[in-house]
Every structure is written in structure tokens, then in C-alpha cells.
């Protein structure tokens, strides 16, 4: 069965550093998403991406965040200057709009 993959599984960084979280969506999917889940809290929508541009973003997705599809397979989330409160599990997802949304296993980001 096709699956969404994410790397790394765990990223530790110092406050103020830039991090890039990587995702490989399912190959024939056109819509891509990032969500985050702070430990013990609910899953929160960050951004959706289609046709090389952001479709929708939440208030969490401020200027510190950016997304990119640098090639035909990867979908990345960049946090320019990490803060302690960015520590969370970040999930990538993909689908073909209103079809089943497949989630990756997540990247646990720890900001020290």
C-alpha cells in the first residue's frame, strides 16, 4: 500500500536555528498538508499546498514557516528561527482532495 514518508523521525535543534522537515507524499497525490501536534494536545492544521502554492493556512503558520515542493517528490516545511514552543510532532499528509487523506508517521521536533 502506498504511504507518506517523513524524515527525520526525530530532530533536535537549538532555539533560533532553522530546521527543514521533509516529506515524500504519495506519488499521484496533488494536495499536500502539514499538521502539528504539541505533546498531549490535538492535531492542528498548519497549511495546505496545491499546484505549487499555498491553498490555505492557519494562524499558526506565520512568517517563520514556509513550505516548498523543490522537486517532483519532496514536500518540505521550513521553520526559520525555531522557538521552544515549536516543539511538537509534525505530520505531513497528502490526498487527491476529498479522497482519503494519508498521514505520514511524523517528525518529532525538539527545540532546546
Partner 1 sequence: AQSVTQLGSHVSVSEGALVLLRCNYSSSVPPYLFWYVQYPNQGLQLLLKYTSAATLVKGINGFEAEFKKSETSFHLTKPSAHMSDAAEYFCAVSDLRGFKTIFGAGTRLFVKA
By beta-carbon proximity to partner 1, the closer residue of 7 and 102 is: 102
- First-residue to last-residue Cα distance in the chain: 37
Q: Would you give the binding string for partner 1 spanning residues 41-80, x where CB under 8 A is met?
A: xxxxx--x-x----xx-x----------------------
Determine if the peptide bond prior to 36 is cis (ω within 30°).
Answer: no
Site for partner 1 contains 104 (CB under 8 A): yes
Which of 12, 15, 11 is closest to 82 using CA atoms?
Answer: 15
Residue carrying the nine cell digits 507518506: 4
Site for partner 1 contains 106 (CB under 8 A): yes
Q: Which of 91, 94, 109, 111 binds partner 1 (CB under 8 A)?
A: 91
**Binders in 18-37 for partner 1, by CB under 8 A:** 31, 33, 35
CA 39 vs CA 24, 25, 32, 33, 42: distances in Å: 24, 24, 23, 20, 8
The footprint of partner 1 (CB under 8 A) covers 31, 33, 35, 41-45, 48, 50, 55-56, 58, 91, 93, 95, 97-98, 100-106
Amino acid at each position: 500500500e502506498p504511504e507518506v514518508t517523513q524524515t527525520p523521525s526525530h530532530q533536535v535543534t537549538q532555539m533560533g536555528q532553522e530546521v527543514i522537515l521533509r516529506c515524500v507524499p504519495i506519488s499521484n497525490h496533488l494536495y499536500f498538508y502539514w499538521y502539528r501536534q504539541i505533546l498531549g494536545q490535538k492535531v492542528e492544521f498548519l497549511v495546505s499546498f496545491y499546484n505549487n502554492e499555498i491553498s490555505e493556512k492557519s494562524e499558526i503558520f506565520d512568517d517563520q514557516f514556509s513550505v516548498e515542493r523543490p522537486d517532483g517528490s519532496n514536500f518540505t516545511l521550513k521553520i526559520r528561527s525555531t522557538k521552544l514552543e515549536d516543539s511538537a510532532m509534525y505530520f505531513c499528509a497528502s490526498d487527491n482532495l476529498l479522497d482519503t487523506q494519508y498521514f505520514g508517521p511524523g517528525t518529532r521536533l525538539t527545540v532546546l
